């Protein structure tokens, strides 16, 4: 179920405006910081599909994808270790 939901979110994100994508990525960061592993796993799956469909400009500094990746990396530093 988490995988299917993440895939659906990835498809929808292809059509979202950059501002909404940033809002969704902030929510995903919150999921990555959750104490329950199932919630964190769902967040990671969603991030995977978000990045898969938003390939363009991901590694170019100053581009939309680059800032999303930077925010996710910064947020992931706070993810509790197992």
pLDDT digits (tens, 9 = 90+) for 60-77: 455 555 566 666 666 666
For residue range 27-46, what is the model confidence (pLDDT) as tens digits?
Answer: 998 998 899 999 999 999 99
Alpha-helical (H) ranges within the chain are 2-13, 18-32, 37-53, 64-76
Question: Does 81 fall in a domain?
Answer: no
- pLDDT exceeding 90 applies to what percent of the chain? 30
Q: Please state the pTM of the whole predicted model.
A: 0.69
pLDDT of residue 27: 92
Gap between the Cα atoms of 56 and 25, Å rounded: 16
**Contacting residues for 9 by C-beta, under 8 A, at least 6 apart:** 24, 46, 49, 50
* Count of beta carbons in the 10 Å neighbourhood of residue 9: 19
7 is in which domain, residue-wise? Answer: 2-75
Question: Does 62 fall in a domain?
Answer: yes
Question: Does 80 fall in a domain?
Answer: no
Question: Does 57 fall in a domain?
Answer: yes
Question: Does 82 fall in a domain?
Answer: no
Number of domains in the chain: 1
pLDDT band at residue 52 using 50, 70 and 90 as cut-offs: confident
């Amino acid at each position: 179920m988490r995988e299917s939901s993440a895939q659906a979110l990835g498809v929808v994100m292809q059509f979202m405006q950059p501002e909404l994508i940033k809002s969704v990525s902030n929510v995903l960061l919150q999921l990555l910081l959750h104490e329950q592993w199932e919630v964190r796993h769902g967040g990671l799956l969603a991030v995977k599909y978000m990045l898969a469909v938003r390939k363009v400009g991901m590694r170019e500094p100053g581009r939309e994808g680059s800032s999303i990746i930077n925010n996710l990396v910064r947020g992931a530093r706070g993810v509790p270790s197992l």
